[in-house]
Amino acid sequence: MSVASGRLTIVHVSDVHGVEHGLLFGAVDPLDRLARLADHLELAHVTPEAIVVTGDLAHRGHAGAYPAVAAALERLGERLGAPVVTTLGNHDDAEASRVLPGHEASHHGVVDADGLRIVRLDSRSGALGAAQLDWLREVLATAAPLGTVVALHHPPIASPLPGLAGQHLADADALLELLEGTDVRAVLAGHYHHPASATVRGLTVSVAPSLAYHQRMHAGLDGIAGHDTSMFSLVHLLHDGVQTASVSLTEPAPIFTIPIPSSTLKH
């Protein structure tokens, strides 16, 4: 773990879109991408405090995919030695997803990662609602030893892609107002299938790209285009801020390779 260095690391994954059988859109094997993610992180010697997966664990209409997705996420957590925290997205099935650890009784809750509090919220409907916001206010009334990270599917910031206009969290203002002045260090979200980040009301918001496919802007003003690029984010909580980086699992041909002295590597 990286806590000894003063930097906490979160592997932020989103939009897995698991399917019951075959390939997503005839091209993507979501479970294989989860396995490749583990390979990539092990090779890079990433030792996260937590793995946070912000929704759309299964593709809409594929309720039977959850047991295999749950097993793949369990293997990912075991290989990296870190807890896996999952939230649900608009594609997810409220009942079938109860096979996921932590979702048996409720789709929102709190996970303690050695002093770092991770709050998972349920935005399947596109909003959180008054009851969930009241619950969150009570949770945040007491600070956590290493601060809090809030995870949900729908970002409280808008996407710059015209085809995704209006797809952000419906009660974003209420959420951000509630979080302002608390011990929340970052808000993690997904949904857009492209990376994004912002600082709003002093809060860092980081939107992870999709593990399944990447959405690009060139489809015009009234469309989106999905491309076969698999990505995730690394989130570093520093003593004086937050750093995020989007990482691609796609492997284009290298232009050059230069060794880095081992003394300069930090994880």
pLDDT on residue 219: 58
In the chain, where are the structural domains located?
A: 3-251
Residue closest to 204 by CA, chosen among 157, 171, 239, 139: 157
pLDDT on residue 203: 97
d(CA 8, CA 234): 10
Sign, CA dihedral 186-179-92-168, equals negative
For Cα atoms 69, 72, 75, give the angle at the middle one, nearest 5 degrees.
Answer: 150
Pairing of strands 50-54, 84-87: parallel
Quote the tokens at residue 77: 């957590």
pLDDT on residue 262: 64
pLDDT on residue 26: 86
H helices present in the chain, as ranges: 30-43, 66-80, 130-139, 172-179
Torsions phi, psi of 76, nearest 5? -60, -45
Domain 3-251 has CATH 3.60.21.10: yes
pLDDT digits (tens, 9 = 90+) for 109-150: 999 999 999 999 999 999 999 999 999 999 999 999 999 999
d(CA 46, CA 267): 6
Mean pLDDT of 221-243: 86
Look-up of token digits 């390939």: 23
d(CA 155, CA 266): 30
